[in-house]
């Protein structure tokens, strides 16, 4: 009896939980409401089976509890019943599969009027590219990637000259315009996922993958990497900003083209350059940026603070100290950390950007770009 | 011809000496205990690792665990649980102990190879654990070990840890093959007189089909593991494409990360059925015996096990819907995946119909079996969400997936493991496990795991990604989600610690448990009919049992007892027409 | 090794030995099924990888496998081994051992010859700069021939057992000894034929032209 009651309670509580819990899908911000509908259909059908089966079980446990002297019914088979059950189950399965495949058919067929943008993933940040006025992307290859050509575009490909390059993790898209995301990875598998849009797809190094969506709500939405890509996976964030036509144009006009980069421009500001360096050189593998414990001293709130060294002395964390820690890490070891860091060779400009980035992780720094390094020894 | 004919004049050389009886033993019962103890030991390590992970997720910063350690714990937890605990325990533990006894054989057909199988398994475990002590620590690539990240610098253990992991897996595969040859061949060739295939208990069918899957599917893991090992050690490019790493170009080119995924999941999906099918078989027997009713639809149950086994080879890419593979594959795999739900559902109906009009004893094994049905139902139904390709797209790589696979692989089969141990412990030791502790252990484990994993699905609906060390300031995640995470962690720690009850029960009852006699559950299958309990070497004494009926004659009308052992002749109790001779 | 059992030694009863023999053969068939699964998956991977542009097929006119003479010679050695084992199996079916000892020896030596020949060819490749990590076609060549060789070495362990049993049987003939020796040789023969077929498939594939790979890839739906 108790067990039967508990089974009924499990059903009741589970169903109540479903309707009352605050943890439901985030509000939809794209055209993929059809996926939500398919999920609802699945919930209804599976929900019915769940409730029916567990209640039936509760009934059996209650009604057929062992009684001394009683025997079970000896009827080991009932082919007719089994075929009926197979039939009903098959119908239910078709009820799930049919809408699912219809919506999936939508998903694999990109609308002809979709506007393309490229999302480039690398450990552990996002950058983007638009095809420019000629609506054609320039050819890229990993072998062409270097400090000055971070997208690896072939400078001899005319189609690439007007490609618009966007660093800094954030991309803008136009509302109510179908967008086809072309996905490219420079290193390992990643996944471009925005919960409110419902759609996602892996980035695979060595090939270009894609998916499409139509944003339907203005606003800023987080991009989360959804394919494990190493220790920075949980921090590989970006944003998609859904704009109306006017804001989108405004944003677009302030972006840089590949041609401009080739002639000496930079894609990002100093802080973003530093951030890029910190991830591309693997600094953040050992120096956390979110306050969590890490192998080396964390950078959150570091700039401007006082650090205690292994010999007991105190030092203020400023630009010169940080630069010394990069090019000659053995000179000063912070107490409580192992002396395992190797020296890095970076240019003055790179060091400046790195310091600017670290400083940006402290609350009080006003203008990180004005910090000057002292001359290297 | 598959029966062991008259072997009356066979000599049984029982080994003497502690070493030959209990260490270098070729007796399937000893090997089973060796497998089970090693599996449970390494499973406890994985349980502790999961506790640490939950502390970090539920109470960030509460323990000294950085992202590196978190991902290493995540990887080792997953790999140990799936391969070194569940597979080894169901096949090497339950398979070894029960198959010869249930088919009426004296031992496995290749006892020497069977012994080697255990020692190879132990070596594979030691190699795996050694990865905790190498420079860089164990691999943190996730149990799925996807390239390129598994062998590149952004992932923990990409220098030495991954090598030890791959070597350990290769050794395990050799062990599993050696054991697997035994389990299948013993079922095919060493059944006692009268034991046709369709008179075998479903436990044997489940493990038998699962082992065939293992023999055909583990090679896929071997293939992918060996090629990844070569990519890592000698620099080939089987899976490694042109790629950068932290600003410099690596010396790989042309390889396909998706090829690895195809190979891995061609193994990986049958693997989950290698875990599930033995659980299905075991629980069928538990329900039948403790409800004192013949399993409903035995033949259909057998065909369901076989068809699930066959279909398990054509569903693998449902793990790859968002991998970037050819999108049209999604149509095919969604269909096959939902088709496999039909025989699986049939099994659930048949378990229920065994309870219907039964005579249900709520013993500890029965409690665990009923809990299995509930949790497997939830886990199986959520699988329908993920199998339906377009529904998988928002849910893939979120906590919905984590909740699904824990429910269907971690909770349901483990409940069967517990139920089975409570059930067969008397046969193995001659004593009963303590009933009160058993019930307490049951309630905490069942309700606790339900509380952990049922709500977790909703974090997936919300969109919380899996394999995240921390969730800082995501506007779409409400604070209440963090409270739920904390709640789940607390329940998980409680459930984890309460497994001490089970361990204590096993040790305590070995010395102080009530003597059980040979057949405390009044069951019909052969293992309960051995002349001694625990069974001695050679199992049956001077002569093998002779079987006259199937394994599920409970409540036969007109019989004196409510159970009719398989060895009871047709003259004493009529044989039901359902029972077909081969 | 498959038929050894120190805990439950077989008896003179024919029924029991039938079970042992049937079991050993079933075990071998299962093992061959698992090995076939492995080689099949490697071959699929091979076809898939061959479609990537950086593949330099070893069968192209300027590449080492344009001349397959050396490998054909090795193949002949393996064929000799298979034939010898088959003849040995048949001669043991009669009550007299016949030439089974010489045939068994020939099979072993021929197989060792094959392995040596493979190593010679590996050396031939590496001295000409064809290393495993220089190109995926090379990598697969070494991988596939290496795995085949490893499985042949495993077979040689069984061959040693068969040889020892045959020796014992000739010195001290018994009924059980004969049955056991027959079984050992039978298992070896089956396994060798299996490895020969696997080798022929590998050899055919490794020396095929890029056009053949493309055709197979297309057939399997793996083409571009």
Asked if the Cβ–Cβ distance from B578 to A77 is below 8 Å, we say yes
Across residues A355-364, what is the average pLDDT? 82
- Chain A hits for B154, CB-CB cut-off 8 Å, are 123-124, 187-188, 229-232, 282, 285
Report the DSSP pairing between strands B244-245 and A256-257: unpaired
Q: Are B545 and B192 in contact (CB under 8 A)?
A: yes
- pLDDT for position B12: 59
- Chain B hits for A17, CB-CB cut-off 8 Å, are 454-455, 458
Asked if the Cβ–Cβ distance from C13 to B181 is below 8 Å, we say no
Interface contacts (B, C; CB < 8 Å): 147
Tell me the pLDDT tens digit for each residue of A4-55: 999 999 999 999 999 999 999 999 999 999 999 999 999 999 999 999 999 9
**H-assigned helices in B234-328:** 257-290, 298-311
Q: Does any domain span residue B103?
A: yes
Which residues neighbour A5 within 8 Å (Cβ) at sequence distance 6 or greater? Answer: A58
In a mutational test of the C interface, the residue from B21, B112, B239 whose CB has the highest number of chain C CBs within 10 Å is: B112
- C123 interfacial to chain B (CB closer than 8 Å): no
Longest dimension (CA), chain C: 65
Q: Does any domain span residue B540?
A: no
Q: What angle, rounded to 10 degrees, do the helices at C136-171 and C175-206 form? A: 160
pLDDT band at A188 (very low <50, low <70, confident <90, very high): very high
Cα C47 from chain centroid (whole Å): 22
- pLDDT for position A46: 96
CATH of the domain at B223: 1.20.210.10
Which residues neighbour A264 within 8 Å (Cβ) at sequence distance 6 or greater? Answer: none
Total domains in the fold of chain B: 1
Among chain B residues, the shortest Cα distance to C2 is held by B110
Spatial separation of the C-alpha atoms in residues B258 and B272, rounded to whole Å: 21
- pLDDT for position C6: 36
For chain C, list the domains and their CATH numbers. 24-219 (1.20.120.80)
Tell me the pLDDT tens digit for each residue of A243-293: 999 999 999 988 888 888 887 666 667 777 888 788 777 787 778 887 777
- C156 interfacial to chain B (CB closer than 8 Å): no
Q: Are B167 and B547 in contact (CB under 8 A)?
A: no
Task: Evaluate if residue A369 carries a pLDDT over 60.
Answer: no
- B129 interfacial to chain A (CB closer than 8 Å): no
- Chain B hits for A280, CB-CB cut-off 8 Å, are 246-247
Portion of chain C with pLDDT greater than 90, in percent? 65
- pLDDT for position A288: 82
For B331-374, give the DSSP string.
HHHHHHHHHHHHHHHHHHHHHHHHHTT--B---HHHHHHHHHHH
- pLDDT for position C10: 40
Q: Does any domain span residue B13?
A: no
Q: Does any domain span residue B445?
A: yes
Spatial separation of the C-alpha atoms in residues B439 and B371, rounded to whole Å: 12
- B562 interfacial to chain A (CB closer than 8 Å): yes
- pLDDT for position C15: 67
Q: Note the pTM of the prediction, 2 decimals.
A: 0.91
Return phi, psi of residue A308, to 5°.
Answer: -95, 130
Spatial separation of the C-alpha atoms in residues B189 and B183, rounded to whole Å: 10
Q: Does any domain span residue B570?
A: no
Q: Does any domain span residue B340?
A: yes
Which residues neighbour B117 within 8 Å (Cβ) at sequence distance 6 or greater? Answer: B31, B92, B175, B176, B178, B179, B182
Indicate if the alpha-carbon torsion angle A102, A104, A108, A112 is positive or negative: positive
- pLDDT for position B120: 98
Report the DSSP pairing between strands A179-185 and A209-213: antiparallel
Structure-block tokens of residue C43: 């071959």
- B138 interfacial to chain A (CB closer than 8 Å): no
Which residues neighbour B459 within 8 Å (Cβ) at sequence distance 6 or greater? Answer: A23, B398, B399, B400, B403, B481, B484, B485
**Which of these, A42, A322, C166, C29, lies nearest to B334 by C-alpha position?**
A42
- pLDDT for position A265: 64
Tell me the pLDDT tens digit for each residue of C65-117: 888 899 999 999 999 999 999 999 999 887 665 788 999 999 999 999 999 99
- pLDDT for position B1: 37
Among B149, B462, B556, select the one facing A229 at the smallest CB separation: B149
For A138-164, give the DSSP string.
PPB-GGG--SS-TT-B-TT-HHHHT-E
- Chain C hits for B216, CB-CB cut-off 8 Å, are 33-34, 37
Which residues neighbour C76 within 8 Å (Cβ) at sequence distance 6 or greater? Answer: none
Q: Are B405 and B351 in contact (CB under 8 A)?
A: no
Its domain, for residue B166, covers 31-241+252-529
Minimal CA separation from C98 to chain B, in Å = 30
Asked if the Cβ–Cβ distance from C19 to B215 is below 8 Å, we say no
Minimal CA separation from A231 to chain B, in Å = 6
Beta-ladder partners of A243: A174
Task: Evaluate if residue C8 carries a pLDDT over 50.
Answer: no
- pLDDT for position A149: 86
- B216 interfacial to chain C (CB closer than 8 Å): yes
Spatial separation of the C-alpha atoms in residues B368 and B422, rounded to whole Å: 9
In a mutational test of the C interface, the residue from B7, B221, B270 whose CB has the highest number of chain C CBs within 10 Å is: B7
Tell me the pLDDT tens digit for each residue of B318-334: 999 999 999 999 999 99
Task: Evaluate if residue C4 carries a pLDDT over 80.
Answer: no
For chain A, list the domains and their CATH numbers. 2-64+78-108 (no CATH), 115-262 (2.60.40.420), 270-370 (1.10.760.10)
Asked if the Cβ–Cβ distance from A76 to B153 is below 8 Å, we say no
Across residues C184-204, what is the average pLDDT? 96
- C8 interfacial to chain B (CB closer than 8 Å): yes
Cα C212 from chain centroid (whole Å): 25
**A261-A264-A268 Cα angle (round to 5):** 60
**H-assigned helices in chain A:** 2-20, 33-63, 79-108, 158-161, 245-253, 258-262, 270-280, 319-327, 348-360
- pLDDT for position A339: 76
- B10 interfacial to chain C (CB closer than 8 Å): yes
Minimal CA separation from A251 to chain B, in Å = 23
Q: What angle, rounded to 10 degrees, do the helices at C210-219 and C14-50 form? A: 110
Cα A56 from chain centroid (whole Å): 43
Among C12, C16, C37, select the one facing B219 at the smallest CB separation: C37
Q: Does any domain span residue B73?
A: yes
- B508 interfacial to chain A (CB closer than 8 Å): no
Q: Does any domain span residue B331?
A: yes
Spatial separation of the C-alpha atoms in residues B146 and B174, rounded to whole Å: 22
Cα A251 from chain centroid (whole Å): 23
Phi and psi based region of residue B201 (left: phi greater than 0; alpha: psi -120 to 50; beta: remaining) = beta
**Which of A131-145, B147-161, B198-212, C39-53 shows the highest mean pLDDT?**
B198-212
Structure-block tokens of residue C137: 């076609």
Coil, strand or helix: which one is A12? helix
Which residues neighbour A226 within 8 Å (Cβ) at sequence distance 6 or greater? Answer: A191, A192, A193, A200, B322, B396, B397, B398, B465
For B89-141, give the DSSP string.
IIIIIIIHHHHHHHHT-SS-S-HHHHHHHHHHHHHHHHHHHHGGGSTT-S--S
Task: Evaluate if residue C5 carries a pLDDT over 70.
Answer: no
**Which of these, C31, C23, C24, lies nearest to C194 by C-alpha position?**
C31
pLDDT band at C221 (very low <50, low <70, confident <90, very high): confident
Among chain C residues, the shortest Cα distance to B2 is held by C19
Spatial separation of the C-alpha atoms in residues A304 and A301, rounded to whole Å: 8
The ipTM, to two decimals, is 0.93
- Chain B hits for C16, CB-CB cut-off 8 Å, are 4-5, 7, 10
Coil, strand or helix: which one is B384? helix
- pLDDT for position A223: 95
Query: Exposed, middle or buried by CB within 10 Å (0-12, 13-18, 19+), for C198?
Result: buried
Q: Are B539 and B187 in contact (CB under 8 A)?
A: no
- Secondary element (H or E) of residue C77: helix C69-93
Asked if the Cβ–Cβ distance from B254 to C52 is below 8 Å, we say yes
Structure-block tokens of residue B431: 């004593």
Number of CB atoms found within 10 A of residue A140's CB: 22
Regions of chain B with pLDDT less than 50 = 1-10, 579-582
Which residues neighbour C119 within 8 Å (Cβ) at sequence distance 6 or greater? Answer: none
For B180-220, give the DSSP string.
HHHHHHHHHH-BPTT--GGGS-HHHHHHHHHHHHHHHHHHH
- pLDDT for position B546: 96
- B313 interfacial to chain C (CB closer than 8 Å): no
């Amino acid at each position: 009896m108790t067990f039967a009651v508990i089974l009924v309670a499990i059903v009741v509580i589970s169903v109540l939980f479903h309707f009352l819990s605050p943890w439901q899908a985030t509000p939809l911000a794209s055209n993929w409401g059809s996926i939500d509908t398919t999920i609802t259909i699945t919930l209804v059908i599976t929900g019915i089976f769940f409730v029916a089966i567990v209640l039936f079980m509760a009934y059996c446990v209650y009604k057929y509890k062992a009684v001394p002297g009683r025997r079970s019914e000896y009827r080991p088979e009932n082919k007719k019943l089994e075929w009926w059950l197979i039939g009903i189950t098959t119908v239910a399965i078709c009820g799930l599969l049919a809408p699912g495949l219809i919506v999936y058919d939508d998903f694999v067929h990109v609308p002809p009027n979709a506007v393309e943008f490229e999302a480039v993933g690398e450990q552990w940040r996002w950058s983007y590219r638009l095809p420019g006025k000629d609506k054609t992307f320039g050819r890229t290859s990993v072998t062409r990637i270097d400090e000055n050509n971070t997208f690896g575009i072939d400078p001899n490909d005319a189609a690439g000259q007007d490609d618009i390059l966007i660093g800094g993790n954030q991309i803008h898209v136009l509302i109510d315009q179908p967008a086809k995301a072309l996905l490219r990875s420079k290193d390992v598998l990643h996944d471009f996922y925005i919960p409110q849009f419902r759609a996602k797809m892996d980035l695979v190094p060595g090939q270009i993958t894609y998916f499409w969506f139509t944003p339907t709500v203005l606003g800023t939405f987080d991009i989360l990497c959804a394919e494990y890509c190493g220790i920075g996976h949980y921090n590989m964030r970006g944003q998609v900003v859904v704009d109306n036509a006017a804001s989108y144009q405004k944003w677009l006009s302030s972006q840089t083209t590949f041609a401009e980069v080739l002639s000496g421009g930079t894609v990002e500001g100093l802080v973003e350059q530093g951030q890029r360096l910190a991830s591309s050189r693997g600094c953040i593998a050992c120096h956390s940026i979110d306050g969590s414990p890490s192998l080396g001293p964390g950078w959150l709130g570091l700039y401007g603070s006082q650090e205690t060294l292994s010999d007991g002395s105190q030092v203020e964390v400023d630009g010169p100290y940080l630069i010394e820690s990069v090019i000659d890490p053995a000179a000063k070891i912070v107490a409580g950390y192992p002396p395992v860091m190797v020296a890095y060779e970076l240019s003055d400009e790179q060091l400046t950007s790195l310091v600017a980035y670290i400083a940006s992780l402290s609350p009080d720094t006003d203008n990180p770009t004005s910090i000057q390094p002292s001359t290297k020894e | 011809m598959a029966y062991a004919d008259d072997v009356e004049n066979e000599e049984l050389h029982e080994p003497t000496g502690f070493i030959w009886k209990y260490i270098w033993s070729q007796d399937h019962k000893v090997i089973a205990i060796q497998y089970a103890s090693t599996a449970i030991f390494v499973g406890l390590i994985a349980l502790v690792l999961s506790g640490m992970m939950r502390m970090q997720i539920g109470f960030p910063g509460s323990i000294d665990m950085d992202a590196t350690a978190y991902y290493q714990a995540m990887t080792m937890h997953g790999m140990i649980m799936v391969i070194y605990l569940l597979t080894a325990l169901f096949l090497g533990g339950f398979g070894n102990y029960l198959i010869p006894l249930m088919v009426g054989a004296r031992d496995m057909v290749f006892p020497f190879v069977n012994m080697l199988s255990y020692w190879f398994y132990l070596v594979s475990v030691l190699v795996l654990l050694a990865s905790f002590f190498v420079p860089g620590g164990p691999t943190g690539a996730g149990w799925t070990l996807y390239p390129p990240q598994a062998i590149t610098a952004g992932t923990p253990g990409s220098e030495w840890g991954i090598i030890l992991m791959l070597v350990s897996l290769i050794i395990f595969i050799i062990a599993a093959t050696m054991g697997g040859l035994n389990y299948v061949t013993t079922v095919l060739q060493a059944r006692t007189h009268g034991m046709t295939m369709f008179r075998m208990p479903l436990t044997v069918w489940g493990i038998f089909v699962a082992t065939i899957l293992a023999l055909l599917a583990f090679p896929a893991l071997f293939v992918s593991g060996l090629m990844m090992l070569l990519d890592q050690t000698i620099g080939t490019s089987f899976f490694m494409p042109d790629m950068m790493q932290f600003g410099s170009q690596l010396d790989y080119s042309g390889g396909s990360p998706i090829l690895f995924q195809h190979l891995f999941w061609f193994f990986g999906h049958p693997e989950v059925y290698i875990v599930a099918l033995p659980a299905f078989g075991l629980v069928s027997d538990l329900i039948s015996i403790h409800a004192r009713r013949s399993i409903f639809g035995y033949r259909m149950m057998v065909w369901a096990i076989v068809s699930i086994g066959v279909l398990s080879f054509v569903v693998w890419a449902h793990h790859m819907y968002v991998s970037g593979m050819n999108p049209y594959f999604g149509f095919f795999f969604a269909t096959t995946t939902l088709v496999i739900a039909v025989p699986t559902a049939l099994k659930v109906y048949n378990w229920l119909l065994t309870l219907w009009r039964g005579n249900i004893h709520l013993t500890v094994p029965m409690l665990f079996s009923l809990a299995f049905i509930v949790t497997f139902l939830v886990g199986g139904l959520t699988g329908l969400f993920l199998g339906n390709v377009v529904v998988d797209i928002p849910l893939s790589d979120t906590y919905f997936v984590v909740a699904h696979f824990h429910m269907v692989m971690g909770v349901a089969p483990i409940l069967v493991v517990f139920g089975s141990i409570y059930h067969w412990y008397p046969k193995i030791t001659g004593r009963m496990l303590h009933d009160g502790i058993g019930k307490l252990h049951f309630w905490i484990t069942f309700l606790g795991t339900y509380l952990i994993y049922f709500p977790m699905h909703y974090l997936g609906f919300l969109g919380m990604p899996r394999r995240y060390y921390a969730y800082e300031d995501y506007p779409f995640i409400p604070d209440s989600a963090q409270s739920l995470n904390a709640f789940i962690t607390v329940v998980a720690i409680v459930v984890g610690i309460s497994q001490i009850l089970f361990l204590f029960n096993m040790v305590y009852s070995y010395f102080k448990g009530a003597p059980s006699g040979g057949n405390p559950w009044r069951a019909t299958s052969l293992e309960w009919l051995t002349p001694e309990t625990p069974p001695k070497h050679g199992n049956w004494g001077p002569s093998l049992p002779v079987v006259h009926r199937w394994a599920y004659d409970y409540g036969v009308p007109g019989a004196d007892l409510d159970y009719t052992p398989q060895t009871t002749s047709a003259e004493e109790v009529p044989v039901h027409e359902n029972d077909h001779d081969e | 090794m498959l038929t050894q059992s120190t805990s439950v030694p077989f008896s003179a009863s024919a029924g029991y030995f039938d079970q042992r023999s049937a079991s050993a053969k079933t075990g071998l068939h299962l093992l061959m099924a698992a090995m076939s699964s492995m080689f099949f998956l490697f071959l699929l991977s091979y076809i898939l990888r061959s479609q990537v542009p950086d593949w330099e097929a070893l069968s192209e006119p300027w590449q080492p496998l344009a001349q397959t003479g050396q490998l054909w010679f090795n193949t002949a050695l393996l064929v000799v081994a298979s034939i010898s084992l088959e003849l040995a199996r048949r001669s043991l079916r009669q009550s007299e051992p016949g030439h089974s000892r010489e045939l068994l020896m020939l099979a072993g030596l021929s197989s060792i010859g094959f392995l040596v020949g493979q190593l010679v060819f590996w050396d031939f490749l590496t001295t000409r700069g064809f290393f495993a990590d220089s190109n995926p076609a090379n990598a697969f060549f070494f991988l596939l021939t290496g795995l085949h060789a490893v499985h042949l070495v495993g077979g040689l362990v069984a061959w040693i057992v068969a040889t020892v049993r045959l020796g014992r049987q000739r010195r001290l003939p018994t009924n059980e000894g004969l049955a056991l020796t027959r079984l050992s040789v039978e298992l070896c023969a089956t396994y060798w034929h299996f490895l020969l077929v696997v080798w022929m498939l590998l050899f055919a594939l490794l020396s095929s032209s890029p056009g053949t790979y493309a055709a197979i890839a297309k057939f399997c739906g793996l083409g571009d």
